[in-house]
Structure 1
Amino acid sequence: MNLGYARGKRVNQQFDYLEAYEVEEIFSDGTRDYEVFQDPESNYQRLLDYAEPGDCLVITSLEVISRDYQKLLSFLDELDELELDIVVLTSPNLTLMDWREVFFWVSKNDRLLHPRLIKMKLKQEKNQNKQAYSVFSGDSESRYLYREVMWQLIGKQKLRKISEQKGVPIETIYRIQQEFKRLKLALILAMCFILAITTIKISENFSDNLWIQVAVCVITTLAILYNTLADNEQT
């Protein structure tokens, strides 16, 4: 029996692929994060409970499960224990054992590739991630994910935890964090400027001495900047 599973981006498109493959049942966890695979109440877990030895799990791409080689290897081990096979519709037609050999080789030999090729690959991925995960991205889902990461950074969640939840490389999360800090600092400076003008106006009501007005303005501004920078150091 062919059992389809959909999760992540473009779920409706995944449904179309799975229905065209004529799967008997389709399970989906919608747009939930990768941590859904740790949820015993997830539809993915229901699929595993429903499946019988000899059944085949059908997915549109490996990103539905994970982007990490080690996690994909663990996923394949789980299928092997349940005596299930796998079909990835947008990839070559490989058996579960074939996929395991591929990921095992990649995880062991990726560092043995030519250093220049690795550097070019990382640079290319960095540029792709920078274009994909941005407030100006052409993809609405990428913009939504960017905002979600921003809110989690505001909530002071750990970068690695955000990376695991959203399935985004930690380098990208770090870049978004730096953009968030620059935006935060720009807003603070703008507020300091407005507050400085306001403080001078208020000080005029209590003293005509210009130096006193300037001193009050400087002290207030430095206090705000100190608290802001101290908060940034903690995060």
Structure 2
Amino acid sequence: MNIGYARGNKLNQQFDVLESYELDEIFSDDNHSYDVFQDPDSDYQRLLDYTEPGDCLVIAFLEVISRDYQQLLVFFNELEDLELDLIVLTSPELTLNDWREVLSWVSRNDQLLHPRLIKLNLKPGKKQTKETYSVFTRNAEAKRLYRDVMWQLVGKNKLRTIAKQKGVPVETVYRIQQEFKRVKLAVILAMCFFLTIATIKITENFSDNILIQIVVCVVSTVVILYNTLSDSEQQ
């Protein structure tokens, strides 16, 4: 069974995310303290009583459990002891072992305070920022890494496979993937713009009616966008 769980702030937002996933039951606690997981009267304890080995705990964000990676490691160990799986809907699909590897890596790097801030330390002692791993980076090694990951994404390789091959955290590959999607969408919109102009010019040769030109232009643009975005979703 897939069991949803929400806790702390933004419960409504968490419910919206959870309800988009196929769940058998949802539990929630409005207690912000991590101690709620040890409270025998909490909904989380009722959730554990409801689950069986092999079930899956589904949460909207990793922060639902904790922002402290040491507490997260303890929590993952407890889930493993109970033979439960974990799905974080707003993060890459990782197993408990994958999450443990990511968080263990974080725990060995004092400059990182949260799993979402993971970056590859290409040169020890040099401050790395979000811009380090982008198409506009000035770091030659980071630029090569970014380009290699981008080509791997074009080849439709899995995030974990790319991360393992390149020796980078999955979070870094995931962020590059999101940037790639934004660039791809920008290219699609630019193509639609030029195709729209071309459609207007072609339509002018067949009709002087401005209304017909607008209708043809809109229909052509919608068809192009629909087919392109449909292909992107299938990928």
**Which one scores higher on RCO, CA 8 angstroms, separation ≥ 6?**
1
TM-score, scaled relative to structure 2: 0.47
- Select the structure of larger CA radius of gyration: 1
Name the structure with the higher helix share: 1
